[in-house]
Amino acid sequence: EVQLVQSGAEVKKPGESLKISCKGSGYSFTSYWIGWVRQMPGKGLEWMGIIYPGDSDTRYSPSFQGQVTISADKSISTAYLQWSSLKASDTAMYYCARHGDGDVFDYWGQGTLVTVSS
């Protein structure tokens, strides 16, 4: 069974750094892209970027390029989403999802709620 398990909710202050994780299991982690999707409170889904854990090839949406860093550690089947300096506007639910055949997000993690507040 394909599963993506994300790290727990975070509460941070503006300017702090953060790295959240997404651990895949039940499939060959290095054979599928993994993506990250943002959902701000009461808003829709936003495609942030994807990474291929096999070679760490990464593609970012222009809206998120330079704002976050997507990485992966294939030795532990885990993808990451990282901020170096959080802003209040980063407050959102973040989902990871497997990017399956046909460029579709076929399996999703449960989400990680990130709250940034002074």
Partner 1 sequence: QSVLTQPPSVSGAPGQRVTISCTGSSSNIGAGYDVHWYQQLPGTAPKLLIYGNSNRPSGVPDRFSGSKSGTSASLAITGLQAEDEADYYCQSYDSSLRGVFGGGTKLTVL
Residues within the interface to partner 1 (CB under 8 A): 35, 37, 44-47, 50, 59-62, 95, 97, 102-111
CA nearest to 96, candidates 72, 74, 67: 72
CB of 16 vs partner 1, minimal distance in Å: 26
CB of 60 vs partner 1, minimal distance in Å: 8
> Exposed/middle/buried for 73, CB within 10 Å: 0-12, 13-18, 19+?
middle
Q: Using CA atoms, how far apart are residues 43 and 18, in angstroms rounded to an integer?
A: 22
- Close Cβ partners of 46 (under 8 Å, ≥ 6 residues apart): 37, 38, 39, 40, 61, 63
Is 92 within 8 Å of 20 (Cβ atoms)? Answer: no
CB of 53 vs partner 1, minimal distance in Å: 18
Closer Cβ to partner 1, 13 or 43, answer by number: 43
Closer Cβ to partner 1, 29 or 60, answer by number: 60
CB of 101 vs partner 1, minimal distance in Å: 9
Closer Cβ to partner 1, 5 or 14, answer by number: 5
